Chains A and B, each alone.
Chain A
Amino acid sequence: MTELRIAAVGDIHLGEDVRGQYRKSLDGIGDRADILMVAGDLTRHGTLEEGRVVADELRDLPIPVVAVLGNHDYHSDMQHEIASELRDAGVIVLNDDSAVIECDGTRLGVVGGKGFGGGFAGKCASEFGERETKNFVRHTRLIAESWQHALKEIDADRRVVLSHYSPIKETLEGEPLEIYPFLGSYLLAEAVDTAGADLILHGHAHRGTEKGMTSGGIRVRNVALPVLGAAYAVYCLADE
């Protein structure tokens, strides 16, 4: 039985002053993993200059690279330009859509995007009241619907969801409870549980916990770099 080896990390927050450093830590990744997934917050301020540093760090790796953007990457309203730079460097950038990547004979489907917040079942915002609140929650709901649709449509042997925001609270443990609604939303987990997937990867919560699970039993991993304390983690999915 062969395994699909997924290297994953989020929140690398690169800038010109650390150019070249992260790349060094990716030496030998082709021997350890079949694909690298990057769970957003690639930059600090979301500038195009930082986006170019990230593109250079991820360029020409021996394995495919799939990424989503995070909230930091949106800060300067240059998210489309950053995504273009990454795509020019060969990175597959997901924006609430999907990609199927052939990995050693296995068709790996990856669905994802930035995700968004709102909180967790029973303690969350709803589409009620001020326009600003309704827009906030609606943004998350539309994202969740896109992911559910993409997961149902995708034709693949294994399915992984790549997000920046968290779909569950378990992987936020360590963060202050008061900020949970800004760290993720249960709507993301509900969508993935409905459509099914093998694994969900996210970042965003630097002080969170690596391992968790959705209500439907799908494994969730918080791969924020400060949580991992390493350049990336590797998760192996057994071949079906």
Chain B
Amino acid sequence: MEAPQYVAARVQAALAEDRRTHELGIRVDVRGDQLFLRGQVSGAEQRERLGEVAREAAPDLHVHNEINVVEVGRPGEVEHLD
């Protein structure tokens, strides 16, 4: 049986390298037959694509897609640098 760390690394590499996603900042954790995706992306479609690529890379695991979509509707705080 493949060690969970290698499975997580393989899925993380797939998320970064697959042309549908190219997402580098997603955390991948494997616990038993469960795989968890965490991180932030800019759109709901990207989140779904990441789940899809992860499922393909680890077809025997149950994928929990816990990625957040960042809402960017408002400008942030103003900082005065003096």
Contacts and interface: CB of A to CB of B under 8 A. Distances in A.
A233 B72 contact: no
B22 A228 contact: no
23 contacts: A3-B80, A13-B46, A17-B43, A21-B72, A44-B22, A44-B23, A44-B46, A199-B81, A206-B39, A225-B42, A225-B72, A229-B70, A230-B74, A230-B77, A231-B76, A233-B75, A233-B76, A234-B76, A235-B81, A236-B78, A236-B80, A237-B81, A238-B81
Given A25-B75, A44-B23, A238 B45 contact: no
A33 to B, nearest CB: 8
A75 B17 CA distance: 10
B22 A14 contact: no
Interface of B: 19, 21-23, 25, 39-43, 45-46, 70, 72-82
Contacts of A12: 42, 72
Contacts of B40: 206, 226
Contact of B73 (A75, A226, A231, A236): A231
A235 B76 CA distance: 10
SS of A interface (majority): mixed
B46 A228 contact: no
Nearest to B43: A18
A23 to B, nearest CB: 11
Interface size class of A (residues with CB under 8 A): 35 or more
A15 B20 CA distance: 11
Given A32-B78, A237-B81, A15 B72 contact: no
Contacts of A18: 42-43, 45
Contacts of B73: 24-25, 231
Interface of A: 3, 5, 7, 12-15, 17-18, 21-22, 24-25, 29, 32, 44-45, 72, 75, 198-199, 206-207, 219, 225-226, 228-238
Q: Is the interface of B mostly helix, strand, loop or mixed?
A: loop
B13 to A, nearest CB: 14
Given A15-B46, A198-B81, A230-B75, 6 more contacts: A5-B78, A13-B42, A25-B72, A225-B72, A231-B75, A236-B80
Contacts of B70: 225-226, 229
A199 B23 CA distance: 29
Nearest to B25: A206
Given A12-B42, A18-B43, A207-B25, A238 B80 contact: yes
A24 B73 CA distance: 7
A28 B46 CA distance: 28
Ranked nearest first, the 4 interchain pairs of A and B with the lowest CB-CB distance are A230-B76, A233-B76, A206-B25, A17-B45
Nearest to B18: A45
B82 A238 contact: yes
A29 B42 contact: no
A7 B19 contact: no
Nearest to B79: A235
